[in-house]
A and B are shown apart, each in its own frame.
Chain A
Amino acid sequence: MRHLSPQDLLDVAEDTQSEAAFPHLVSCEVCRRHVAELRDVMRAAAVEVPEPSPLFWDYLSARVREAIGEPAGHWSRWARVFSPWRLGGAVAAIAVVLVVATMFVSTPQQAPASGTPPSDRAGVAERADSSAEDPSLDFVADLAAGLDWDSVAEAGITITTESAAVDRAVMDLSVDERAELQRLLSEALRGV
């Protein structure tokens, strides 16, 4: 006796055709088992899609509306450059370079220039001491180790450590300011 084909088994399992249309089923345990197995899998696989946030739907519509307002290809190109994770990486990279530069500029071995007034020498020594003890700089240095610099370059962000303005800004950071920079870095990386 000829067993049911896969298509027939599926039709019976899905109830698109009744079992009565296939008299073979009455006498064939193998085919009845196949039908039962198909039905078991269909029941087991009947799971729902997790419902996203209620705000997601309007956000999706807004994204589509914005995208179709751009010329073809424009949205995807700019989205790749200015996607949140790339921007976050660029912001973090800039901040890390500023702080890492501080580590090199404010090392304990670095002596103030002979021409530096005594009051400024004390200030430099104070910052050097505080940077050596500041654990936030270790944290930032660890963050820098994991940055994707290629992504930063692709995003068009270039950093020149030769900039005197950057060096001055770094040297002027106090302990509180470095703590604030650490907080901003953490936020930016969480948002990526």
Chain B
Amino acid sequence: MPSTLAWSLARTSDSDWQMTVVRAEHAAAANTSGGDLAPLSDADLVAACLQGRREAFDLIVERHRRNLYQLCYRFVGNHEDASDLTQDAFIRAYRGLRNFKGDASLGTWLYRIGVNVCLNRLSVKKPATEPIDAREHIDTRAESASEGVLREERAARVRAAVAQLPRKQRAAVVLRMYHEMSHQEIAGVLGSSVGAVKANVFHALRNLKTLLGEG
């Protein structure tokens, strides 16, 4: 598990320590990911991986892990489940790499897998969203303490409201609002039509309005 002590130190004003961590992280990534692979496109990395260069997939993970994690987090609202789902999604992607045809971007393809993994999880159990005081590592140095509390309260309410949406509405609004995918792309990910995506987004927003008590 990551050291919570190290993370806590990263939140202090010790910028030298943070810079050291960033440099070490990039050095480790370069060592493990194959320096010659770094300039390759996603499609070329997939090809390299299929040719047996497993470190090419390390680089794919490194490039897309943040987006995929954030997608999963939007679905389930807590770090533990999001972490597990992100790992599951990458494992499924690795095992299904031969199915990547290149007609959509690798990111979209990964989103498709991530959404399916999240929807499958939602059909099994209802994840618990994180409470207000869950750890957050957002740069809050510029805001006051009360602003920070209000921000966290609002974020928790939004997470809880999104978690109550029906699965298809949740998927559509997460991909549209938080990942800025086009309706066409979302339709491709969800395997539905543009009209259905728009309808789901519309109804999701109306439901969120009710759940958040807006207006």
Residues of chain A touching chain B, judged by Cβ–Cβ distance below 8 Å, are: 6-7, 9-11, 13, 37-38, 40-42, 44-61, 63-65, 67-69, 72, 75
| A47 contacts across to B, CB distance below 8 A | 151, 154-155, 158-159
| A38 contacts across to B, CB distance below 8 A | 202, 205-206
Question: What is the interface of chain A mostly: helix, strand, loop, or mixed?
Answer: helix
Complex Cα gap A60–B82 (Å): 11
**Contact across chains for A50 and B62 when beta carbons are under 8 A apart:** no
User: B6, B137, B209: which contacts A50 (Cβ < 8 A)?
Assistant: B137
* Smallest CB gap from A34: residue in B: B206
Determine how close the nearest CB of chain B comes to the CB of A65; give it in whole angstroms.
Answer: 6
User: B95, B178, B195, B214: which contacts A37 (Cβ < 8 A)?
Assistant: B214
User: A6, A55, A67, A68: which contacts B7 (Cβ < 8 A)?
Assistant: A55
**Contact across chains for B162 and A45 when beta carbons are under 8 A apart:** yes
Indicate if B58 sits at the interface (CB-CB under 8 A): yes
Indicate if B1 sits at the interface (CB-CB under 8 A): yes
* Smallest CB gap from B95: residue in A: A72
Given contacts A42-B177, A60-B86, contact A50 B136 (CB under 8 A): yes
Complex Cα gap A129–B174 (Å): 64
Q: Which of B36-72 contact A (CB under 8 A)?
A: 54, 57-58, 61-62, 65-66, 69-70
Complex Cα gap A57–B2 (Å): 9
**Contact across chains for A60 and B208 when beta carbons are under 8 A apart:** no
* Smallest CB gap from A43: residue in B: B214
* Smallest CB gap from B57: residue in A: A68
**Contact across chains for B91 and A45 when beta carbons are under 8 A apart:** no
Question: What is the interface of chain B mostly: helix, strand, loop, or mixed?
Answer: helix
Top 3 nearest A-B pairs by Cβ distance? A55-B2, A53-B7, A51-B137
Determine how close the nearest CB of chain A comes to the CB of B167; give it in whole angstroms.
Answer: 17
Number of B residues with CB within 8 Å of any CB on chain A? 62
**Contact across chains for B158 and A68 when beta carbons are under 8 A apart:** no
What mask results when residues 143 to 176 of chain B are scored 1 for a CB within 8 Å of chain A, else 0?
Answer: 0000000010011001101100000000001000
**Contact across chains for A61 and B154 when beta carbons are under 8 A apart:** no
Complex Cα gap A129–B91 (Å): 57
Given contacts A37-B215, A60-B83, A67-B87, contact A48 B155 (CB under 8 A): yes
Given contacts A40-B215, A61-B62, A65-B58, contact A45 B177 (CB under 8 A): yes
Indicate if B30 sits at the interface (CB-CB under 8 A): no
| B208 contacts across to A, CB distance below 8 A | 41, 44-45
**Contact across chains for B214 and A7 when beta carbons are under 8 A apart:** no
| B112 contacts across to A, CB distance below 8 A | none
Complex Cα gap A68–B49 (Å): 12
**Contact across chains for B138 and A51 when beta carbons are under 8 A apart:** yes
Complex Cα gap A64–B68 (Å): 13
| B201 contacts across to A, CB distance below 8 A | 10
Indicate if B203 sits at the interface (CB-CB under 8 A): yes
**Contact across chains for A49 and B73 when beta carbons are under 8 A apart:** yes
Complex Cα gap A43–B11 (Å): 28
| A52 contacts across to B, CB distance below 8 A | 2, 69, 79, 83, 135, 137
Determine how close the nearest CB of chain A comes to the CB of B70; give it in whole angstroms.
Answer: 5
